[in-house]
Structure 1
Amino acid sequence: MRIIDHEVLRAAAAALIEAGGSSPEEAGVVARHLVEANLAGHDSHGVGMIPRYLQNAAAGVLHPGRTGRVVADAGVMIVIDGEQGYGQVIAKAATETAIARARETGAAVLALRNCHHMGRIGSYGEQVAAAGQVGLMFVNVTGSPSLVAPHAGFDPRFSTNPICLSFPGADGAPPVIFDAATSGVALGKCRVAMNKGEPMAEGLLIDAEGRPTTDPGVMFAEPQGALLPMAGHKGYGLALFCELLAGALTGAGTSQPGNPRSDAILNSMFAIVIEPGRLVDTAWLAAETRALLDHMRSSRSAPRQPVLIPGEPEIAARAARRAGGIPIDDTTFGQLRAAGLAAGMSAARLDALGLDLQP
């Protein structure tokens, strides 16, 4: 295990992504997004994704330098095709477009399709909340094979299909950010557990025969196992609506077998952004929000286990990791170094970036 300062890790990540064909500006945006995911405690969506990104760029299923194309723009409705460019870059810009449109018209409906992996969807919810707006975001995955079985099923039929709901904080308080996969766990968390040699919790995975297991390796074996939806039929219903909204309604396509599959990680997002002042007095809204959150926190709980508001665990993780560094397991560290070498970086350059062989 290595503990790496977040700025050192960000610089190393940017250099790796630039070696994969990105401009320094693009590499900086993607690297910052990934390291912010690590800082927030979501290592599944952090720098460990870089080897896959560079492989996809080399294979021609990720296209560095593409910034997306506006397909339709009419009133509150905006349709953007990401053209398989870096999702972190395109989704950030598309979210900013939706924020500006909602400020102008009161609301914006964004259909963003065909982006390479968008990363941690909560970052776009935070972007909306920082503008004082409300966000509802639904994401599906096309391109790569399905990972999650429907409720009562054994065979994968869709991916982890995250949902992000964001609400601005009251009077300068942190926003409320609910960001979760509709599966019981994200695939990236299985990768992290496998790299660390750790089992998963019960009730998250089944093997290829439909038997419950705690072995994360079933998700990387042939034949592959499956993730289970969170909360049984409830998570399944939410995941299905991610397919309908982010897949069908955006025009991107869903997980049905008539659509092509490859090794790409293609995300599409259906988002609604709302300017709350068009609906309600903002002073009243701030007071009501504050009172509600205080009411949640006032509940009795177990010792040293206070009731938290969605988004607060990430705030605590950021503070701890900014001060103490980001842990990177040895397997992930080796994968990052190998990805750099495969992209043509010298061993000396990787050593200088902190991706050296010696701890």
Structure 2
Amino acid sequence: MPVIHYQHLLRLTHAMIAALGTPDDLAHMVAGSLVEANLRGHDSHGVLRLPWYARFVDDGRLLPAARPSLAEQRGATARIDGAFGWGQPAARLAAGTAVDLAAEYGIGLTIIERGNHIGRVGEYVGLIAEAGMVGMAWCNASPSVAPFGGRHRLMGTNPFAWAAPRGPGRAPLILDFATSIVAEGKLRVARAAGQSLDPGLILDAAGHPSQNADDFYAGGALVPFGLHKGSGLSVMIELLARAVAGVEHGATEYRGYNGTMLLAIAMSGVVDTDRYLEAAERFCAAVESSEPADGVPRVLLPGQPEEAIRAQRLVDGIPLAARTWDDIRALAADLRVHGV
């Protein structure tokens, strides 16, 4: 398994995205987002996506030079036009706009229209939390998940993310998960590594349980987490993110388009900020000091596993599946990007 230093991977990713016709500042945002996902252990949302994005550019689904913009603002709400460009810059603009609105109105709600894949949703609520606010996000995707009790794909993986600020010097708490039992990208990681899936993650095209990731891409479906609870949450996210952002329903192939909604809440509008941070630290300390179950080294807070992986990979490098690295090298050759 190749292990690549993050700085080299960042330079290479930036060069490849720029070679697709992306302005330098946008290429910097997208490359940083992808490599940061790898650093945090979310390889499903990292550089594995590069060949996928390149296909979107080739077939016109992704316009690499397009820039997101503020389409409309009404009070504490705003619409961001993703212009079918890179999803990551659109999501950063939406997060920043939500923060600005919350600073003025107490809350800020933004939606992204005509948006492509935004990557790791937790990144954007994290930006809101770094501004001292609570951040929430809902994001849909094209159908890939069977509803509870169903056989065939109907809903997206529809991730939900939530971030809350902590005291000075503390990383925000970030909760980010798909409403499917695993994110679709985890299947890509398993397929690239030639690994079988754990039982209970997907159905094949006939609606039967499968452990072969290829069965998903041959018309199968992911399964919602938590049975009816995850399925119900996914339905609500469809209504919020897909319908509000105007993303067409009915595609059976994942097209890459995301309907995204972000919410920023200025805690200063409802509670004394210092009092909130003190209460947050007391509760976090209580969780961390909780007696662990047998076989568990210690109880962790949301986001702490990713912080630990990030610290390790900054030093040791980022491991990539051989197939992923081969695909990246092949794409770099096609784009005439050297220094791989």
In the aligned structure 2, how far is the partner of 1:264 from the partner of 1:313? 31
Mapped partners of 1:169, 1:203: distance in 2: 36
CA contact 2:205–2:216 (8 Å) conserved in 1: no
Aligned position for 2:179: 182
Q: What's the TM-score once normalised by structure 1's chain length?
A: 0.91
Work out whether residues 62 and 264 of structure 1, in 8 Å CA contact, stay in contact via their aligned partners in 2. Answer: no
Instruction: Write the deviation string for residues 305-352 of structure 1: whole angstroms up to 9, x where unpaired.
Output: 311111111100100100100001110111112222333x1xxx43x2
CA RMSD for the aligned pairs?
1.5
1:230 alignment partner in structure 2: 225
Residue 150 of structure 2 aligns with which residue?
153
The aligned residue for residue 270 of structure 2 is 279
Indicate if the aligned counterparts of 2:141 and 2:254 stay in contact, CA closer than 8 A.
no
Name 1:116's counterpart in structure 2. Answer: 116
Find out whether 1:288 has 2:275 as its counterpart: no
Report if aligned partners of 1:141, 1:159 keep a CA contact under 8 Å in 2. yes
SS in structure 2 at match of 1:141: coil
Query: Paired residue for 1:219?
Result: 216
Mapped partners of 1:70, 1:96: distance in 2: 11
What is the CA–CA distance in structure 2 between the aligned matches of 1:190 and 1:305, rounded to whole Å? 28
CA contact (8 A) 2:159 2:179 kept: yes
Name the counterpart of 1:82: 82
Structure 1: which 5+ residue stretches go unaligned?
Answer: 355-359
Q: Quick one: which amino acid aligns to residue 271 of structure 2? A: V
| Whole-angstrom distance in 2 between the partners of 1:241 and 1:60 | 30
**Pair 21,261 (structure 1): closer, same or farther in 2 beyond 3 Å:** farther
Structure 2: which amino acid aligns with 1:65?
A
Paired with 2:227 and 2:297, the residues of 1 have a C-alpha distance of 26
In 2, Cα distance between equivalents of 1:310 and 1:288 = 17
Alignment of 1:1-359 (within 5 A): 1-142=1-142, 146-221=143-218, 224-250=219-245, 252-255=246-249, 257=250, 264-301=255-292, 302-343=294-335, 345=336, 349-350=337-338, 352=339, 354=340
2:189 & 2:286 partners in 1: Cα distance?
Answer: 36
The 1:154–1:262 alpha-carbon spacing in structure 2 relative to 1, beyond 3 Å, is closer
Superposed CA deviations along residues 217-259 of structure 1, whole A, max 9, x for unmatched, are 21222xx211000111111111111111111123x2353x3xx
Is the CA contact (8 Å cut-off) linking 1:184 and 1:229 kept in structure 2?
yes
The 10-residue stretch of structure 1 (182-191 or 166-175) with the greater mean CA deviation from structure 2: 166-175
Secondary structure of residue in 2 paired with 1:110? strand
Per the TM alignment, residue 138 of structure 1 is displaced from its structure 2 partner at its CA by 0.4
Q: Residues of 2 paired with 1:158 and 1:304: CA distance?
A: 34
Give, in angstroms, the shift of residue 172 of structure 1: 2.9
Task: Tell me, yes or no, if the aligned pair for 1:140 and 1:254 is still in contact at 8 Å.
Answer: no
Q: Which runs of 5+ in 2 are unaligned?
A: none
C-alpha separation in 1, matches of 2:120 and 2:331: 21
Contact preservation (8 Å) 1:150, 1:228 = yes
2:148 and 2:132 mapped to 1: Cα distance?
A: 37
Compare 151-160 and 68-77 and name the one that shifted more: 68-77
Q: Which letter maps to 2:178?
A: A
Q: Residues 8-65 of structure 1, C-alpha deviation per residue, up to 9 Å, x if partnerless?
A: 0000111111111112221111011000000000000000100011111111110112
Q: Which moved more, 1:164-173 or 1:5-14?
A: 164-173
Separation in 2 of the partners of 1:178 and 1:261?
A: 28
Q: CA deviation at 1:298?
A: 2.4
Letter in 2 for 1:41: G
Contact 2:68–2:93 (8 Å) recurs in 1: no
- Secondary structure at 2:149 match in 1: coil
Count of residue pairs the alignment pairs up: 339
Query: Does the 8 Å contact 2:33/2:119 carry over to 1?
Result: yes
Matched residue type, 2:73: D
- Is the 8 Å Cα contact of residues 114 and 247 (structure 2) preserved in structure 1? no
Which shows bigger deviation, 187-196 or 19-28? Answer: 19-28
Query: What SS does structure 2 have at the residue aligned with 1:171?
Result: coil
The worse-fitting range, judged by mean Cα deviation, of 61-70 and 188-197 is 61-70
User: Deviations for 1:278-328, whole angstroms, at most 9, x for unmatched residues?
Assistant: 100111111111111122222221345311111111100100100100001
